[in-house]
Every structure is written in C-alpha cells, then in structure tokens.
Amino acid sequence: MVERINLAGYAFDRKAIGLAFSEYKKLKKNNEYDEEYKWKVLQDLNELKRDLEINKDNVIEFIEALKEKNPHQGPLVHWKQLDELTEFAKTHPEKTTNLINQLISGDEELKERINVFKDSTDLGTPLYAYILSAHNLKEYAPYKESSFKKFFEYFSYNEEPNLRSLTLGEKYAKFTEFCHDLAEFISENSNTSATALDAQDFIYTSTTYYSLKENFQLKYIYQFAKKLSELKQNTGQLFSELKEFPMDYLQERKEYYKDSPKIKEIRFRVLEVIINRENPDLEKIKEQVNNKYEKNILRAYDDFKILAQIYIDFFKDRIKSYLKNLSGQLITEVGKGDLTSRYVSFQSHGFPSDETWLAIYPTSKEDHRKSYQFYLSFEPNNIKFGLYAGSKIKENLEEKDTIQDPSSIEFQRIKNKFEDQKDRFYKLNESDKENKKEDIEKQEVFEEIKNQIEKTYQVILYGPIGTGKTYSAKKFARWWLQEQDNEENIDEQIKMITFHPSFSYEDFIEGLTVKTEDGERKYEIEDGVFKELCIKAKKEYEEADPKAEASKYILIIDEINRGNLPKIFGETITLLEKDKRLGKKNETKADLAHSGNEFTIPPNLRIIGTMNTADRSIALIDAALRRRFRFLHFSPNYNQILNKYGFEGEKDLENTIEESQEDRKILQALSIKALKKINRKIIESSNLGKGKQIGHSLFLENSSEEAIKDTWRYEVLPLLETYYFGQFDRMKREVFEGNEIDLIDWETLEIRNFDSSELEDALRKIIS
C-alpha cells in the first residue's frame, strides 16, 4: 500500500493521487467543472506580454490589463494587491518597470527575484504568482496557499511544508517546483504535455471541488479496508510491507513504544528487528514478553492485532482527515446546523481492525450510542450507509444501502440516501428525546437540598464559579414544588432576584416613593419583592385547610453574598427562623421601618441563596444570617462532564486521548483532565484555595470543537487571569508548573487567539 511519488522532495501517496486524478478527469468532462476561465485569462495575458516590452511608459497599461483580466468570480489575486501595485507604479513607474522585468526574466533564482520585489512593495505571494503566470503559464501558476496546504493533508505521507518559516520567494519557488513535478505525473497519466497551470488546477480542484474530493476519499478508504483484510489473512505479507516503510517512521514508532509494557513491548521489539534489517521471529518475541506476566497478555491478541497498529498508524492522520471531511460535508448537506459526528480510523474496541465507520447524530445527544444516526461504514467487501439505532437504544433499526462494486462508489448516492431519511432521522431523535424525561427525583443533590430546607426553611448553595449552583436552585425549585403541589403551572410560585452592592432594604422589604398628583408631591409605601411574595404566600396559607397543604413558594436569591445582607433584611432577619414563622409556637412579628405595619413570614415560603466563593468566603457572611441558613457546598463535579460526554471513567479518558480518531472527543477528554489538574494546582496555591476552583458547568455545553475552544479562550483563561490579577509569571509557576503553554503570548502577556489543534497541544502539555 506504500506506493510513493516524490514531489519537490516530499513523499506522497501515489494511490491516493491516482484515485483523485481519475475523479479529476471525470470532473473535467461534466458541467460541475468551472475552471476553464483560468486558461483563457492567462493565455490572453501571455499573448499580451509576448507583444509587450514593459517600460515606464506602459507599465501602468500592463497592470491595468492584469486588473481587467482578473476574474470577478474566483479572482487569481486579491483586488487590493493590484490596487496597491497600481498606486506604487504611479509614484515609481521606472522602479516598478525594473521590478517586473527583473521578476519575470532576471538571472537570479526565482526566490531571490521575488524577495527583491517584496522588499520594495511588501505585496503577497499571489500577486507575484499572477504576474509570473501572466508571463508564462507553462512554467508558473496562480498560488492559493490554503489549497497547497490541503493537498499535503490529503495526499502526503505525514509531511507538511513549514510555510510559515519560508520567505515569500522560497514559498513560491517551492510551489513552482512542486507544480513541475506534479505536471510530469499528469503527463504520464493523461498522454498530454501538462503545464504548471494544469498542476495548479489539479491541486485546487482535488482539495476544493465537491464531490471530487469526497469520491476519491470514499474509494481510498474502501481500498484500504480491502488491503487490511488481505494482511489479516497473511502476516508474512504484513511483515514484508512494514519493512518497506520509511526508516524515520519506523524509528519514531520504536521510540513511541520504548519502555512500554505488554503488547507495546512486543511491537517495540518487532520494530527493533525490522530496523536492523533482520527477519523477526514473532513467536519467540511474544513468548519472551508474555513470560514476564502471570496472566496471559496474548489472550485477546492475534498476530494481526499486534502488528497492524504499526501499519495503520502510518496512514491514520490522512484517513482521519478523509473521515472528518466526509462527515463534515454530509453534515453541511443534510443537517440543520445541529449535527456532529463520531468516526474511528480502523479501530474496534481499542484493537486494530479492517473496518472503519462514521456516525452523524444531533449535538444534543452528546453520545452517538444513545442516538439514531446517519451511519457510513467501510468493510473489506462493501460500503454500507443509512439510518441506524445507536448501541444504547433498545431497538434493532438498520435501514441501509450497500455498495459492493468499487466503480459505483459515489458521494452523491450516499448523500441522497441521507436526504431521503432526513425527516425520519429527526423525528426519531426528537421522539427519543421526549420519551426520556429527567429523572430528577433520584438526584442526590435535590434530596440533600430538600432535607436541609425543611430543617431551617432557607439554604445557601455555595462554591466556586461554574459548579451549577444557580442551575440547581432553579431546577430544585420546580422539582420540589411539583412534588409538593403536583401542579404544572408553578412559575408564579417561584421568584428569582439577584443581589448586588446597591440592592437595598427598600428594594427587598418596603420603601417610600414620591408621586406627583395635581402639582402636589405625595409619599407612598411601595412593597419590595420579598414582602410581595410573603403577602402572596400568607394569603395561600391562611385560606388553606389544613394549613400543611398550603401552596409553597420559593424565593431564589442569586449572588446573595454580593448584597449588604443585614441592611437588606433589616428587622425581618429574626423572622426567618422556622419556629418564629406565622402560626408557629414562637410566632414573631416585626414593625416595618417605613409603614410601621406588623410583618410576619409565612411557613410556606422558602429561601434559596447562591454564592460564589470566588467572590467572598462563607466566613465573611454576617453571623446572624449564618445561623438562620443551612449551607450546602458545591464542588466541581467531574462525573457530570464524564456522563455528559459519554465517558465511562478515567481509563476511558486515557484511551480516548491516546487512540481516538475524533478531534472533538479528544478535546473533551483533554479538557476534563486539564480541568482536574488546574483545580488541583489552585487548591495548592496559598493565594487561591478551593473556593477559587473552576467549575464543571463551564464545559457541559461543549458539543463541538469550536465550543470547547471558546470555553478555554473566553472563560477559563480570563478567569485565571482575574485570579492572578494579570500576574502571568505567577500563573505560569503555580498553575502550569513553569511551562509556557502556547495559549498565552508570554511576551505581551495576553491570551492568544488559537485554533483547536493548538488547544489540543497545550492541553496535552498541561496534563503531562
């Protein structure tokens, strides 16, 4: 399977390029292909340049021709660059003439000619590529960096040019060399004399055009499954092919397995022998390693499972890229913006396999096993696709089509099948969602709140930011009221307010307001939110018979610690006690400050407060208030994230990080482990402590890579920055163990913009 072609010094998969080129030739014969304009534009410019000797008198004319010919649809260079070149030429016509002539016909190497032009104008690679292509389309081609990089992702053997480290001249010189080598391949496979523009067109269409890229990727994965099936039957052939793998890859895998136990040690020893160009005695190696252990480590492993992992890992990143593209394209085609995917790269329950698959399911499900899915699987003898019930749904549903003839593999056919099933797919998942009501009665936290609120009639849920205090307060209130009254419409029995530094007694109990009528100012008493709710609850209590069945009311005070509590509660603070409520044996009344009226708190009213210990310690709460509340601590609950993401424990996290082929699952697993590590460091910090931990709820809605990235970028890192008052050096020392993770610019001391892969690298560094 390792069929290589060398392009500009890089090794590419000849099989993959060949499949893509076959699709490319078919594409050029149908109406989807829309790139002919490039030849027309550049041929016209080549003829113009052939008849034009550029000088200071016509250089503007030449640039205007470049602008006129640059297509409005699919421009070969950004218009801004041409405008900037025009302005430069108007000011420096002779210099511009010399630069253009030197660029297209100078004696220096191409990279030097471009760098000289760049030093004078500071324009981008696409402009220099356009000018050179306008001069000679056989030798030069337009440049689109995203397509060039994507070509490496789709076709190279784990190599990628570090374009960031290259000068503009070096970058385009490398691209030109690449196009020349690729043009030779095209010539050999099409009986034509291919040009640099032909190569550029193939690079662009094979990485961009729907459905060229999807078709060749489907066929490649299918052929890979067939190849693995052959190797599964012939371990000797597997050995022979491993010997042909690049030496640097074999060395890298050997280092990866070095000092590893059990099966990984067997792989290490096999690699060691292959690298030394010897014939491995697999049976002997297996026996030597197995004898180290009391239990038989080989019980679940045949020779294929031992060796195939080395083989598969060589192709893994590229196949993962294909599966990611296929699932992303299907989501775009048939979804409503509410779908995600799970895919594996020839793995089955942690073992190498000759089958692979992808599943598309609603983001709301989090776990594909609990969802009805659009399913696409690759097996050695067929491709299956259609509607499928996840393994944790108690229904045997499979509505699939099968492709066995490789020539009939087409992405459009799979897409059409999913389109036909789309309404049923959404209906099944919505129905499944409705039938699974929350079993909140069994949640221990609700039972605990219930027990404590019955003892004192008021509780405070306290803990670090993001531990679900407010969420739990609101959910508990509805659950408890439904349990008490068995009523559906209970919104009027719940009142929620938020305390803040300017919240006052007048807002909470009662205050004087001034009104003007007929030119006269009148002072009136206006009830506050707490007094209003007490009056409503008292009316229900007095009318109820028996009193114990009076409808219950709950006041939720969010951020209760941010208000001046003694001032806000005033004389009513004593009335909060259970035995001093209306109708109790020590019933107590208070005269209110403004109206002078008697006031009592009915027993069918409960209070739930929430407070963030990141803002204020519980020890700073007024002692009189502390005596009248029960306090329930909320800690980061990692099990909630594990369950939400469908992980089955710490071991599952480790396996996902090491072996998963799904970027989203890897980021979720890394985030959980990194959160644990960071919180442990926060607890150990003498300046922070457990009250400053970061809560689990920040991660509960992370159903996509983008959402996970945003949580770290806009919530976790800014929170750490706040905790450390911008002292990044101390943060680095205490939280990151002295490591300069790449999520922060350590020169400017600012949080960076980063992508998902950079986040993954940083999280791996944090947990290491």
Higher-confidence residue of 489 and 694: namely: 694
Q: How far apart are CA 81 and CA 126, in angstroms?
A: 9
pLDDT digit string, tens, across residues 439-470:
443 467 888 898 899 889 999 999 998 888 99
- Per-residue pLDDT of 574-615, as tens digits, reads 899 999 999 999 999 999 988 889 999 999 999 999 998 876
For the ranges 48-62, 252-266, 329-343, the lowest mean pLDDT is seen at: 329-343
Please provide the DSSP assignment of 271-300 as one string.
HHHHHTT----HHHHHHHHHTTSSS-TTTT
Name the DSSP letter for residue 13.
E
Estimate to the nearest angstrom the gap between the alpha carbon of 182 and the chain centroid: 35
Query: Judging by DSSP bridges, how do beta strands 356-362 and 372-379 pair with one another?
Result: antiparallel
pLDDT of residue 201: 95
Residue 726 — very low, low, confident or very high, per pLDDT cuts 50/70/90?
A: confident
**C-alpha pair distances (Å), 286 with each of 232, 256, 262, 280, 763:** 18, 19, 9, 11, 35
Cis peptide before 211 (omega within 30 of 0): yes
Q: Is the pLDDT of residue 493 over 50?
A: yes
What pLDDT band is residue 488 in, cutting at 50, 70 and 90? low
DSSP string, 497-550: EE--TT--HHHHTEEEEEEEETTEEEEEEEE-HHHHHHHHHHHHHHH-SSGGGS
What is the structure's pLDDT at 439? 42
Sign of CA dihedral 389, 395, 401, 406: positive
Mean pLDDT value of segment 163-181:
88
Q: What does the pLDDT look like over 642-691, one tens digit per residue?
A: 887 878 888 888 888 887 767 788 899 999 999 999 999 999 888 888 88
CA distance linking residue 725 with residue 730, whole number of Å: 10
- Residue ranges of alpha helices (H) inside 686-755 are 705-711, 717-723, 728-734
Predicted pLDDT at 436: 42
Asked if pLDDT for residue 432 goes beyond 60, the answer is no
- 250-263 mean pLDDT: 92
Higher-pLDDT residue of 395 and 106 is 106
CA 587/CA 569 separation, integer angstroms: 18
Token representation of residue 570: 């005033």
Note the pLDDT of residue 1: 54
Report the candidate in 343, 342, 322, 274 with the shortest Cα–Cα distance to residue 13. 322
Give 415-431 pLDDT, tens digit per residue: 999 999 998 998 888 86
Could you give the CA distance from residue 23 to residue 218 in angstroms, rounded to a whole number? Answer: 11
Q: Would you state the pLDDT for residue 619?
A: 63
Question: 344 pairs with which residues across the strands?
Answer: 357
Please state, rounded to an integer, the average pLDDT across all residues of the chain: 87
Contact 153, 205 (CB under 8 A): no
Q: Measuring CA to CA, how many Å separate 87 from each of 52, 92, 121, 512?
A: 21, 9, 11, 70
**Is residue 607 classed as helix, strand or coil in its secondary structure?**
strand
Which pLDDT tens digit goes with each residue over 125-139?
A: 888 899 999 999 999
Q: Does the structure show a pLDDT above 50 at 71?
A: yes
**C-beta separation of 231 from 304 below 8 A:** yes
Residue-wise pLDDT tens digits, 385-394: 999 998 888 7
The pLDDT value given to residue 435: 39
Q: Is the pLDDT assigned to residue 487 strictly greater than 60?
A: no
Would you state the pLDDT for residue 31?
A: 84
- Of 100, 114, 103, residue with least CA distance to 169: 114
CB neighbours (10 Å) of residue 348? 13
- Does residue 556 sit in helix, strand or coil? strand
Which band of pLDDT confidence, cut at 50, 70 and 90, is reported for residue 145? confident
Q: Is the pLDDT of residue 79 over 70?
A: yes
pTM surpassing 0.85?
no
Q: Which strands form 605-612's sheet, in the order they lie side by side?
A: 494-498, 553-558, 605-612, 458-463, 630-633
Contact indicator for 4, 14 with CB cutoff of 8 Å = yes
Residue 447 phi/psi, 5° resolution?
-65, -40
Q: Contact, 82 vs 67, CB < 8 A?
A: yes
175-199 residue pLDDT tens: 999 999 999 999 999 888 999 999 9
Percent of the chain at pLDDT above 90?
Answer: 47
Condensed to tens digits (0 to 9), the pLDDT of residues 318-372 reads 999 999 999 989 988 887 667 888 888 898 877 899 999 999 998 877 678 889 9
Instruction: Please compute the mean of the pLDDT values over residues 698-702 and round it to a whole number.
Output: 78
Q: In the structure, what pLDDT confidence band is assigned to residue 47 with cuts at 50, 70 and 90? A: very high
pLDDT at 440: 40
Specify whether the CB–CB gap between 303 and 282 falls below 8 A: yes
Question: Phi and psi dihedrals of 514, rounded to 5?
Answer: -110, 130
* Arithmetic mean of pLDDT, 291-299: 90
Please report the domains of the chain, with CATH numbers, ordered by start residue.
Answer: 4-215 (no CATH), 220-436 (no CATH), 440-633 (3.40.50.300), 641-767 (no CATH)
